[in-house]
Amino acid sequence: MEDEIIKTGTLDAELDFSFVRSSGPGGQNVNKVNSKAELRFSIINSVILSESQKSIISEKLKSKISDDSVLILTCQTSRSQLENKELVREKFYALINKVLKPKKIRTGTKPTVASKEKRLQQKRENAEKKERRREF
């Protein structure tokens, strides 16, 4: 992706992974295997992110950040611990890049004369059609 703000892999040294038991159905193996991946990223202690990036992330991801400013993401879609780890890592980079991407400024435009005339013509045709229905 050319429009990435944070390249995938640049923050890997600052990510902490832990694995816990996944919820839901799983058969006999469910109570023995820790397959749910939990990613923790300390925003304040990040060396790579700038102060402005830290504040943007803290503001926009309030619901996913704990009181000690740690971003917590989880993934339990797969039965494989390694696959869940990769999925949560991809989810993390996608989320960070989405949050840090500047919002596009919308420029207001006005409808053209032709589009106004076309809309009025369609309204007239529709009104005539309904008027013809009443005559019966």
pLDDT tens per residue across all 136 residues of the chain: 445 577 888 888 888 888 888 776 666 666 667 788 899 999 888 888 888 888 988 898 888 888 888 999 999 888 888 999 999 999 999 999 999 888 889 999 999 999 999 999 999 999 999 998 886 5
Question: Other CB atoms closer than 10 Å to residue 36's CB: what's the count?
Answer: 20
CA–CA dist 119, 127 (Å, integer): 12
- Residue 17's H or E segment, with its range, is strand 15-20
Domains of the chain: 12-100 (3.30.160.20)
- The confidence score (pLDDT) of residue 87 equals 93
- The confidence score (pLDDT) of residue 12 equals 83
Instruction: Provide the whole-model pTM.
Output: 0.69
The position carrying tokens 């749910």 is 36
- The confidence score (pLDDT) of residue 107 equals 92
- The confidence score (pLDDT) of residue 2 equals 45
CA–CA dist 57, 134 (Å, integer): 61
